[in-house]
A = this chain, B = another copy of it.
């Protein structure tokens, strides 16, 4: 019995120490293992399979909008990185530099890509000549490196996996349209597949991407009330095009600069799934993203016919991702393990169930037990998984809404920031000085100016001047 409870007992409760709970879960659910390389984690099979499912679904959605995949070199020559001034200032401080190839020092240092705008621009300079060559809507799946000081699995690491889309368009309008299209695609994906509700909006100038004209973002609220930036989409205007000389001949035979965008989502999404849905028994994975959707756990497995029946039920559930746990552990241990790994439903099946032609389905999120006839198991399992997916999103949305506050005075703002973890909605004049001030006095940063603007009051929460926008504020990961 002591042994059986071990898996669960080893987790710190989230109320006691959320950060430690998170670390315990990623380790105990075997999502990652620390490596001998500072700040780099190993994605174990259970963790990587989540990323594979994210990739598969996102990639299909990308391709449905005309995206084509490419692969660019992982190295950026220093002179290329230096071509766009704001961009290099943003990324050079956290660049990893290759200075030797074999035993020879390199004539020019190579940066391990922190992001690939400069490579794509160089490429587009070479392949775009005429309006017939536009638009280019390319994407790559790869890993990037940013030399971070403090790191946490999935949330912030020296190397992480992501996709980066880079597009070039004939007009400013088309670029803006693509920027917004991809942001909405990201938000829809997160809501429909990861069951995480998103605030969609625009970053302030202070928080935008190095070199962008405008950065759009989707922001999620974690269980502890902290905000997580979950995906961004940037409109570069023609800034990079001018720095890299990317011009095309239009229909009137005139030279024009292209307009560009880029957009990315990362393995950080796995951290969001953990921190939005997890509980004190471990992970809770939304059915649509779970590597294993159903764990069949035979009870009194040694009895004749039990394991055979379990495998028979698995066959019936061929439309889902199913595993039969036939290891030599006790059922109690297997239950804890299924809960820790966040497998959406488990099916308990013992001799008495078999005699009654039934099984017990247990939902991971609510612990609800549902007795189901074996004749109906496929339909019922499908219904329960759909229901669970839907309710997980609703629950996350209710939690987010319950932790979204409005402030109309600075005192109110400071009090909320101090006492109530969550989003704070408040009006802002558009001045960076006020943004800096709010960070200093309340410890929060601007998350975004949401697309759905409201007029909470007429004046800036900080300086009292006329308000220009409603802003979501929060403490960020």
Contacts and interface: CB of A to CB of B under 8 A. Distances in A.
A365 to B, nearest CB: 26
Contact of A37 (B52, B71, B77, B103): B77
- Number of identical monomers bound together in the oligomeric complex: 2
Interface stretch (A42-50, A194-202, A203-211): A42-50
A325 interface: no
B99 A95 contact: no
Contacts of A36: 77, 80, 119, 122
13 contacts: A33-B127, A35-B73, A36-B77, A40-B73, A41-B73, A42-B71, A45-B70, A45-B138, A48-B70, A48-B71, A49-B68, A93-B103, A99-B100
Bin chain A's interface residue count. Answer: 35 or more
A123 interface: yes
Nearest to A119: B35
Given A36-B80, A40-B75, 10 more contacts: A42-B71, A42-B123, A44-B70, A45-B69, A49-B69, A74-B74, A74-B159, A95-B100, A98-B99, A98-B112
A76 B40 CA distance: 11
Nearest to A69: B48
Interface string A74-101: 1111001000000000001111111111
B73 A159 contact: yes
Interface stretch (A141-149, A272-280, A420-428, A465-473): A141-149
Contacts of A35: 72-73, 119, 122-123
Nearest to A110: B37
Nearest to A327: B132
Contacts of A96: 98, 100-101, 110
The 4 A-B residue pairs whose C-beta atoms are closest, nearest first, are: A40-B73, A45-B68, A43-B71, A97-B100
Interface in A303-355: none
Nearest to A67: B45
B43 A70 contact: yes
Nearest to A72: B42
B161 A71 contact: yes
Contacts of A112: 74, 98, 112
A48 B110 CA distance: 24
B143 A74 contact: yes
A9 to B, nearest CB: 20
A126 B68 CA distance: 39
A289 B403 CA distance: 51
A110 B112 CA distance: 12
A149 B92 CA distance: 28
Interface in A146-166: 147, 158-159, 161
A92 to B, nearest CB: 8
Contacts of A100: 95-97, 99, 109
A170 to B, nearest CB: 17
Nearest to A76: B37
A70 B101 CA distance: 27
Contacts of A42: 70-73, 119, 123
A104 to B, nearest CB: 8
A101 B72 CA distance: 22
Nearest to A101: B147
